[in-house]
């Protein structure tokens, strides 16, 4: 029996030998790895420190500011008016309203002068004189035909102030779309507090300080909204406007308005009345004379001065006001234009009622520049001798 069990011990000895060899190889590998780790430890420490420094820099306050998380990102006006937003996207972005009323920085209210034009601004040199020396208190926006390319020089206040524009047709909803587009682009600058709609034929009747103070101190916005019982008022009402707008709520007013920031936001986010005016106020119903006056009179009548700041002359009759050329602009003419007026301002009687006037043709520029220093209160004195 003993001789039969003897051969079974050989595999046990072989297993023990294999185990010893594998253990020896493992010790060699571990030793080699430990030696390599010791050899490269300084480099590892340096790389680790560098990585930690990089992560730290990535999350430092200065880096966060660079990434646009500082307050400056939210209050700085757009450096470039060119953008690719649709009207829907633009109106959504521009309708953001802070719920905290107190600004966390020293804010200077600005007046946004919004020019709705077909193309050139022939009276731009007059506006340049009006705005000179008042940087930081105004901003400029121009909506023109989309195929028009302005060529204002770099020093001009109108340089690169054209917003992405679309075709605007007189008397149609596309005109109100252009006005809302101007408002929305101007709202992107949080310092813009007052918004004035102007045409290429408008001029300022007073110096900048007078105009600026008049606007920023006003308790109300300057939108005319009156009930005209005649054919050019209620006669344009379409009963399909009901129930959103009844005939007793139907209003008419001048296209050239001035509103504060709260009303500007209201006008661009309106979705209740817009479809009604788009579909049921078409020529001979001129929507630019009815849309804003009506919806503001319905929703926010207590915020309206119910008058326009832009003087026009309808004495010649016709569908459009009188246009004044170079021969019309005399010293007597401008004095009459600025003559004593009577209106209410902040619930008190006032003698200054109009801040702007229209319509002036390109030929009026030279005499306007000539008389501006002495009759309008702005411009260069040297022009008196030109």
Tens of pLDDT, residues 335-351 = 999 987 899 999 999 99
The highest-confidence range among 42-46, 172-176, 379-383, by mean pLDDT, is 172-176
For residue 130, pLDDT beyond 60: yes
Which tokens belong to 281?
């106020």
Give the separation between CA 311 and CA 314, rounded to whole angstroms: 10
Q: What is the separation, in whole angstroms, between the first and last Cα of the chain?
A: 139
Taking the alpha carbons of 292, 287, 173, 276 in that order, is the dihedral positive or negative? positive
Give the separation between CA 94 and CA 268, rounded to whole angstroms: 8
Phi first, then psi: give them for residue 296, nearest 5 degrees. -70, -35
pLDDT-wise least confident of 26-40, 122-136, 319-333, 370-384 = 26-40
Which residues share a beta bridge with 226?
252
pLDDT tier for residue 21 given thresholds of 50, 70 and 90? low
- pLDDT of 31: 59
CA angle, 356 then 362 then 366, to 5°? 85
CA neighbours closer than 13 Å in the CB half-sphere of residue 355: 22
208 against 171, higher pLDDT: 208
Nearest in space to 244 (alpha carbons), one of 273, 287, 280, 266: 273
Distance from the Cα of residue 4 to its chain's centroid? 104
Region for residue 171 given its phi and psi (left: phi exceeds 0; alpha: psi -120 to 50; beta: otherwise): left
For residue 13, pLDDT beyond 90: no
- pLDDT over 70 for what percent of the chain? 81
Distance from the Cα of residue 47 to its chain's centroid? 49
pLDDT tier for residue 386 given thresholds of 50, 70 and 90? very low
Give the list of residues 6+ apart from residue 65 with CB closer than 8 angstroms, or none.
72
DSSP-H helix ranges across 59-109: 61-66, 71-75, 87-94
The SS3 of residue 149 is coil
- pLDDT of 16: 52
Which tokens belong to 176?
């109100």
CB-CB contact of 315 with 355 (8 Å): no
DSSP-H helix ranges across the chain: 2-5, 9-58, 61-66, 71-75, 87-94, 124-131, 173-187, 208-216, 261-269, 274-280, 291-299, 331-337, 365-371
pTM value is 0.81
pLDDT tier for residue 64 given thresholds of 50, 70 and 90? very low
pLDDT tier for residue 79 given thresholds of 50, 70 and 90? confident
């Amino acid at each position: 029996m003993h001789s039969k069990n003897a051969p079974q011990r050989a595999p046990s000895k072989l297993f023990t030998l294999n185990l010893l060899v594998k253990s020896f190889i493992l010790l060699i590998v571990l030793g080699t790895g430990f030696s390599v780790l010791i050899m490269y430890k300084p480099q590892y420490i340096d790389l680790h420190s560098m990585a930690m420094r990089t992560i730290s820099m990535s999350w430092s306050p200065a880096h966060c500011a660079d990434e646009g998380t500082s307050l400056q990102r939210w209050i700085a006006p757009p450096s470039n008016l060119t953008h690719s937003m649709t009207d829907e996207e633009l109106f959504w972005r521009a309708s953001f309203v802070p719920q905290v009323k107190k600004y966390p920085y020293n804010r200077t209210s600005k007046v946004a002068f919004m020019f709705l034009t077909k193309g050139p601004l022939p009276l731009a040199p007059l506006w340049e004189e009006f705005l000179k020396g008042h940087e930081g208190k105004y901003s400029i926006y121009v909506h023109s035909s989309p195929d028009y390319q302005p060529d204002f020089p770099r020093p001009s206040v109108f340089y690169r102030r054209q917003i992405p524009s679309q075709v605007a047709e007189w008397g149609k909803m596309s005109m109100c779309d252009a006005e809302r587009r101007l408002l929305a682009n101007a709202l992107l600058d949080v310092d813009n507090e007052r918004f004035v709609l102007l045409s290429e034929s408008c001029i300022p009747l007073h110096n900048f300080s007078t105009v600026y103070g008049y606007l920023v101190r006003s308790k109300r916005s300057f939108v005319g909204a009156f009930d005209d019982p005649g054919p050019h008022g209620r006669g344009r009402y379409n009963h399909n406007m009901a129930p959103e707008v009844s005939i007793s709520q139907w209003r008419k007013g001048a296209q050239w308005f001035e509103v504060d920031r709260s009303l500007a936001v209201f006008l661009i986010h309106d979705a209740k009345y817009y479809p009604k005016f788009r579909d049921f106020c078409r020529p001979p119903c001129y929507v630019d004379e009815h849309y804003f006056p009506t919806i503001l009179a319905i929703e926010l009548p207590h915020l309206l001065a119910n008058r326009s700041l832009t003087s026009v002359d309808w004495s010649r009759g016709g569908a459009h006001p009188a246009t004044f050329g170079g021969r019309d602009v005399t010293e007597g003419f401008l004095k009459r234009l600025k003559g004593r007026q009577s209106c209410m301002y902040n619930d008190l009687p006032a003698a200054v009622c109009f801040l702007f006037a229209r319509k002036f043709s390109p030929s009026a520029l030279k005499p306007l520049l000539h008389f501006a220093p002495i009759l309008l209160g702005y411009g260069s004195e040297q022009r008196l001798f030109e």
